[in-house]
Amino acid sequence: MTTQVVKKHMVVAQNASGRNMNVPIYRMKGSRPGPTVYIQSSIHGAEVQGNVVIYHLIQRLKHMDICGEIILVPNCNPIGTNIKAGEYTLGRFDPVNGTNWNRGYFFDKNAVEDFAKTVTPEESVTGIKQRFRAHLSSSIDKKLAEPWGLGLAQQLNLKLQQLAVNADYVLDLHNGPVSTRHIYIPEYAKNSASLFNIPHCIFIPNVFAGALDEATFCPWWTLQDHINSNLSREVCFDVEAFTLEMGSQEVIDFKEGDIDATSILSYLNAKGALHHCDIQPKDMQRLAVYLKDYKTLFTNWGGMVEYLAKPGQRINRGEPLAQILNIDDLDTDFGSRTLEAPCDLIPILHFPSASVLSGTQLYKVFTNYFDI
């Protein structure tokens, strides 16, 4: 069994010489019907591991029997990956307008509510999905054709979102700064947390802040809620979207990438995207928090930092997280200070640099976590 890969390029931007900048789009279509899956990586330029995960996925999917279609867009932000300063990639923000590359996707809550009013009690779920997808797609087209133009990041985001608009399952592959593997999961798709082999899960509410996962699930979740309450009709569209954080930025690890690919394949298999595939989710411990319990710890002091608590390690209240060196007090008792955990927690990621200004987000941590 081999599945063909159809490769095309899409123009997402132009550089100052007026030359087109492209992203590759790999499409793999099975001979059987099934869901549409969209996977992209590196919208934040320094977060490169997802590209090696997509490489492994393509190599393995070529020899698998796909149901439906899988669309893969590696290195989906060709600008972000190339903004270097010395040894580092400054891939988080559009350098022209300063906007986060992952905040320009489209969602219009009022338009979804208006659409919900057009759904009748008799309309089939398939019919609603088809009409709603056409509605979303034309809304994105309209936004792209905005006569006043759009910022660099937003243009890129909307072009990518258009590729994902027909997908049932959307996976956006990211990395933390120095980070353990974790995943953002919409609360209404909680059951899918155990289909990935990812040890740390964050359940997020139906709130839009501009990211691709939210832009994908918020419309469907909102529509579902409205139909449930207006028509007293239980519908489930089974559209899911996740942000997967595959370890630390600025790292490519082929071996880990293959493990990450297996994790994604186990999810896709459970969702019916693969025929006669025996990849199952691993029997492992998975810890979760609600977004409100995923806390950021800022430092009130500037200085040079040793990160004592490692991502993924359980820390009790009062235990040291970091030791901070103060250059003006090397001769006094304040030459170094210890930052302690304000409660029991698990660090998920920390700032990548050892020199920090006051007010830096030093750690992001799980509090009130539980087993799933």
Q: Which residues contact residue 150 at a Cβ distance below 8 angstroms, ignoring those fewer than 6 apart?
A: 104, 143, 144, 158
Question: 215 vs 315, which CB is nearer to Zn ion?
Answer: 215
Q: Which residue has the tokens 């490519």?
A: 252
By C-alpha distance, which of 181, 183, 13 is closest to 101?
13
Q: How far is the CB of 213 from Zn ion (least distance, A)?
A: 11
Number of residues forming the site for Zn ion (CB under 5 A): 3
Tell me the two tokens of residue 107: 């969602």
What's the Cα-to-Cα distance from 334 to each of 21, 301, 337, 361, rounded to whole Å? 52, 12, 6, 22
Q: How far is the CB of 26 from Zn ion (least distance, A)?
A: 21
Radius of gyration, CA atoms only, the chain: 22
* Amino acid letter, 208: F
Count CB atoms within 10 A of the CB of residue 129: 18
Q: How far is the CB of 352 from Zn ion (least distance, A)?
A: 13
Q: How far is the CB of 174 from Zn ion (least distance, A)?
A: 3
Contacting Zn ion within 164-183 (CB under 5 A): 174
Query: Of the listed pieces 40-48, 58-66, 138-146, 285-293, which binds Zn ion according to CB under 5 A?
Result: 40-48
Q: How far is the CB of 102 from Zn ion (least distance, A)?
A: 6
Query: Of the listed pieces 25-33, 46-54, 266-274, 344-352, which binds Zn ion according to CB under 5 A?
Result: 46-54
Answer for the pair 156, 91: CB distance below 8 angstroms, yes or no: no
* Residue number closest to Zn ion, CB atom: 174
Query: Of the listed pieces 42-50, 56-64, 69-77, 126-134, which binds Zn ion according to CB under 5 A?
Result: 42-50
Question: 44 vs 181, which CB is nearer to Zn ion?
Answer: 44
Cα 261-61-264 angle, rounded to 5 deg = 25
Question: 291 vs 343, which CB is nearer to Zn ion?
Answer: 291
Question: 102 vs 262, which CB is nearer to Zn ion?
Answer: 102
Q: Which residues contact residue 166 at a Cβ distance below 8 angstroms, ignoring those fewer than 6 apart?
A: 36, 133, 137
> Does 44 engage in binding with Zn ion (CB under 5 A)?
yes
> Does 129 engage in binding with Zn ion (CB under 5 A)?
no
Q: How far is the CB of 107 from Zn ion (least distance, A)?
A: 19
Answer for the pair 208, 222: CB distance below 8 angstroms, yes or no: no
Q: How far is the CB of 47 from Zn ion (least distance, A)?
A: 5
Question: 184 vs 267, which CB is nearer to Zn ion?
Answer: 184
Residues that bind Zn ion (CB under 5 A): 44, 47, 174
